Amino acid sequence: MTHFQDLFSSSSPCKFPAIFNFGDSNSDTGGLSALFGQARSPHGESYFHSPAGRYCDGRLVIDFIANSLELPYLSAYLDSVGSNFTHGANFATAGSTIRPQNTTIRQSGFSPVSLDVQYNEFYDFQPRSQTARSRGGVFEQLMPKAEDFSRALYTFDIGQNDLTSGLFLNMSTTQVKAYVPDVLNQFSSIVKNVYNQGGRYFWIHNTGPFGCLPYVLDRLPIPAAQLDKAGCVTPYNKLARFFNRGLKQAVVQLRKELPLAAITYVDVYSAKYSLISQPQKHGFKQPIRACCGHGGKYNFNKHIGCGGKIRVHGKDVLVGKACQDPSLWVNWDGVHFTEAANKRVFDQIVDGSLSDPPTPLKFACHGKQQQPH
């Protein structure tokens, strides 16, 4: 690691004026909430002290990324109430996939705002933000400068829902693997589109070990022989790693095709799996069960989620309650990590030790020039 840090000793840290984020619920700061209703209480309780558009008790990895770059938390592009886009915009929505889904959110739980839609929003936002800025006054204060688009960091964290959507349709892992190349082609084409719009600095997260998440463990029962020592489903985590190998290859190809880009591939899978397989090392007591939920082996019930209520004698009674101390739990609601877990993931990726090339976050504009030969 020191060898790679030496590479950056003569470089000055990047001054990213903005972040533009594309993704799913792992980085949604209010997009889905703006469309379909706010993520309900107790979401947000640990940090914001009320729901804040995030499927978490507090902050997400993208929040810690923004904070470490001395930028404000990102406003969701789809949120028209109180948003400030001076330092970027967040196009992510919970339930998003790379490939468009031919189903509704009511039917499947997956968002209609797939990655191509998120790109269309960005494509539209770029010129419209400048038209708004030119009106002066408050508009000038709420929009990024034209030159910020080429100096911004473009972050991506998407792909998990492309894999689970197939499994939830009772596809085998082999059948899901068969469409992964198409998913990755669509991902690459969006990165190229952003590059053609002037984007140069890319920070791309791979997908996490979704075979360790209660919403998968509960919905797709698996024989005990297919669980690893941490209690995760081995074939599903293998599928995630298969996707990640393909994503890494796609990034290598993108570097060849986009000569002015600095693209950092970030192994979030290893950071997340470390929390689940070695919870004590990271200060956690409960690695797999959901902190906020109701019933069953994993404290997860897809019909009564975190914050869920049931009718008892004509009254609504909260049964999807949060655990007493979410900071000791990795999983928040059966699908997403707690703020404490997100912070530990961020702590593991910020220095570049899980990245290829091993570029620290603050040097992600130097990735291309600094690659060792």
CB 215 within 8 A of CB 289: no
Task: Give φ, ψ of 89 to 5 degrees.
Answer: -150, 155
**Residues 42, 48, 49, 51, CA torsion sign:** negative
Whole-number Cα distances in Å, 30 to 19, 79, 97, 171, 368: 15, 7, 17, 31, 32
CA within 13 Å, CB half, 195: 19
Structure tokens at 285: 């007591």
* H helix or E strand, kind and range, residue 356: strand 355-356
Q: Among 217, 250, 220, 215, which residue's Cα sits nearest to residue 98?
A: 250
Give the residue numbers marked as catalytic.
Answer: 25, 333, 336
- The number of residues making up the chain comes to 373
